[in-house]
Structure 1
Amino acid sequence: MEKSIEMQNDVVVMLARHVIATVANGSNLVFSPTSINVLLCLIAAGSNCIAKEGILPFLMLPSSDHLNAVLAKTVSVTHSNGSKRSNVRFSAAYGVWIDKSVSFKPSYEDLLDNSYNATCTQADFAFKPGEVIDDVNTWAKYQTNGVIEQILSPDSTEAIRESKLILANAMYFKGAWSNNFDAWLTKDYYFHLLDGSSVKVPYMTNDEDQYLEEYSGFQVLRLPYLEDQRQFSMYIYLPNDKDGLPALLEKIGSKPGFLDYHIPRHRVPVRAFRIPKFKFSFEFDAAYVLKNMGLTSPFNTTGGSTLTEMVDSPSMAEDLYISRIIHKASIEVDEEGTEAAAVSASMILTSCSAYESRKPDFVADHPFLFTVREDKSGLILFMGQVLDPSRH
């Protein structure tokens, strides 16, 4: 099981590299690979053997049993209630909207109810697409505590009319640092951009020892959040060179298990310590990225549908395909902690080095990668890059 989670994190890196290469366009980026993977699991569960044979290798899983084990671990983490205190919260919700002209197969409906605790709603896609859009957006806003107010745009009415199903997954995380950053210590310093220019942004700091490890060409910082029965942490991967982010991403992607093998285990004294505050959102069509990565079977519009195990209408099932997987994520990092959220919605249409005696510095004053990870399971909940903290 641990190996399967590790391989899932390799998929995360592969997905991040493709998102950065194809749709990030040199901007700040945040997305939830777990949210996208859960949707792929939902799609795989409603697919025939042909589609599963495409999705399982993509997720680096040898069988449906491994898929179910990874899914069970993911759901156990996301559905755990944590402690009653409000300073650590992570939740996931699943929503399904189905056109009133079709119905689910009992086996698929049972999966949605019992494994995902999904909210299922019948709606009039053909004649009331505006109501469908409003309902999905209201659901997303509620599930992300207002962080994401809209996942379907008002001009998507025509796409809704042509759809039969909408599968959605929303994730929300809010965690307080185990060691706070005092706001009165926050000061403005320069952040160096990839184009050679710089901007002044507020940096946080504290005087605590840090979970920090230095490697050849880069550093890794672990910032733990307050712990309940789960342990969440933010990891920052900072290249030594100010323009070293592309090379670091290449290195991370070239070595299997990289993220799991580069985890700071011990606190060490740090000399200069500064991290920029940042807040931004990012939205993209994950279907476009997945197709570019070679996963084509769920999106096939010709040669017969592979999504035959979802709906209880053989003639309709033969014409189903995924048109889009809309993914939107948002993150805010400040002195108190982190608030992050993500929503994925798919529309289905017819048709290692040791420390020296010196104290190291950790000054994140140039582009870096970050993840938010649940350390006990190894699940990576959010991943992204900060290229310019002044952009919101």
Structure 2
Amino acid sequence: MEWLILSLLVTMASSVDSFLDHEYSRTALGDNIDKASVKLLREAYLSSENTNVVTSPLGVLLLLSLYSSGTQGKTRDEITQLLHVTDYKEMLDSYSGLSKEYASINSSYLSLANKIYVASGCGLNDEFFRTATTYNTEVASINFHNVDNAAHIINQWANEKLKGLIKDPVSKSSLDKDALVALFNVIYFKGHWHVPFQASLTEDKDFHVNRTLTVKKRMMHLKKSLFFNADDELGAKMIELPYQEPGFRMVVILPNEVDGLPEVLEKVAQKGLLDNVFALSPARRKVNLYLPKFDIKSSLDFTQILPKLGVKGIFSGGAHGIVKERSVAISKIFQEAAVNVDEEGAKAGAFTGAVIVPLSTRYKSPPPMDFIVDHPFLFTILHQDVIVFLGTFTH
């Protein structure tokens, strides 16, 4: 059996805001991505030596959905089960539509690109090629036998899309000279908070890594009206920080307990995050927010993670519908991801988020509500109802 390398490059940069409108639609695709994403994050968190983790599950799911079009039987069933798919054609249409939509968004803040490199002398199956084009995927020929040059060519493409955030994400050890085809996905996001944190207010404050270890972290400060939700069943509360970029927002999920992150992760892996995200509502008073600056880089091996979620056949079963007259399987699937959150990013500071509620002339504003992110937490970046990035910060 010939081997296929499925490689995934994902990255993200961010800065910080307050909110515009709050008209977000909820879709079946968003729900399916939500459920699969939190399962992928949980396994990445459990398998990582460094529990500061960032990933773009969306990149994994996009490539798996595309790959599934060249498979059949149990292998395809395992993929669709992870993707929570009931209507296969609808799934292909949804993911291909999402690829096209994101590729059309202003590339100054969002870049999503798919590319397939085919070994010299090989050709893609006609039907698979047609499906790939619906995913807005470029196709190019490459000589995998010259591993150094192949890595250089792929990195040139990746570096352009990643805008220098991750330099040369593909090493020659990532490739296989006997590969017939490699699938790549890049997602890059750079957001700007509408009401930025003022750098002059950032200060060292206690961050409780666990019940016995406390360290100092640079904490940003913001006092604004924000959307908030508390869920005793989940054991966490959350706050929303919208970006200037239309439809984008960060949601920070803070466990009630200092050591509560593993339990919260288990719960969201069972039910997803969107129910809680769509339960966010105006806090009806200012929120006194302290949020640590953080910078996370993750190298994730989904070759190890996916089998734990029941996706095994892609690594052993033959896929006959990808390369002409050949059967292939995946040998590697990996992801390089990065996130940076700080005070910067507001190009214009005139916008002020406010929640307007009817008040009597004698109404006295309630005191601000504290939301102090001083222990391990979960965060996500969404576009509308689609989770684009997801991560944990613990130390």
- Same fold by TM-score, threshold 0.5 exceeded? yes
Matched, 1:290 2:298: no
Report the equivalent of 1:122: 141
Q: Say whether the 8 Å CA contact 1:151–1:326 is kept in structure 2.
A: no
Report the equivalent of 2:63: 39
Match of 1:226 among 240, 244, 255: 244
1:1-392 correspondence to structure 2 within 5 Å: 2-22=27-47, 24-82=48-106, 86=108, 89-113=109-133, 115-126=134-145, 128-156=146-174, 159-194=175-210, 196-216=212-232, 217-228=235-246, 231-254=247-270, 256-263=271-278, 264-270=280-286, 272-300=288-316, 305=318, 307-313=319-325, 317-318=326-327, 320-337=328-345, 359-375=368-384, 378-388=385-395
SS in 2 for 1:60: coil
Q: Say whether the 8 Å CA contact 1:232–1:372 is kept in structure 2.
A: yes
User: In the alignment, residue 362 of structure 1 is paired with which amino acid?
Assistant: F
- Once the two structures are TM-superposed, the CA of residue 358 in structure 1 deviates from its matched residue by 5.7
User: In the alignment, residue 259 of structure 1 is paired with which amino acid?
Assistant: L
Report the equivalent of 2:359: none
Task: Map Cα deviations across residues 6-37 of structure 1 (whole Å, 9 max, x no partner).
Answer: 13211111111111112x22420000010000
User: In the alignment, residue 94 of structure 2 is paired with which amino acid?
Assistant: V
- Once the two structures are TM-superposed, the CA of residue 218 in structure 1 deviates from its matched residue by 1.7
SS in 2 for 1:132: helix
Task: Map Cα deviations across residues 183-239 of structure 1 (whole Å, 9 max, x no partner).
Answer: 1111111211026212212111122212222222321110000143xx100010001
Unaligned runs of 5+ in 2: 1-25, 347-365
SS in 1 for 2:196: coil
Task: Map Cα deviations across residues 92-125 of structure 1 (whole Å, 9 max, x no partner).
Answer: 0111111113111222222223x12322221111
Over aligned residues, Cα RMSD in angstroms? 2.1
Moved over 6 A (4+): none
For residues 359 and 145 of structure 1, the distance between their equivalents in structure 2, rounded to whole angstroms, comes to: 39
Task: Map Cα deviations across residues 45-82 of structure 1 (whole Å, 9 max, x no partner).
Answer: 12234422221122110121231233144224412324
Among the aligned pairs, what percent are the same residue?
27
For residues 294 and 373 of structure 2, the distance between their equivalents in structure 1, rounded to whole angstroms, comes to: 12
SS in 2 for 1:250: helix
Unaligned runs of 5+ in 1: 339-356
User: In the alignment, residue 247 of structure 1 is paired with which amino acid?
Assistant: E
Over 3 Å counting, the alpha-carbon distance change for 1:55 and 1:359 in structure 2 is: same
Q: Say whether the 8 Å CA contact 2:382–2:388 is kept in structure 1.
A: yes
Aligned length: 349
Over 3 Å counting, the alpha-carbon distance change for 1:195 and 1:75 in structure 2 is: same
For residues 296 and 386 of structure 1, the distance between their equivalents in structure 2, rounded to whole angstroms, comes to: 29
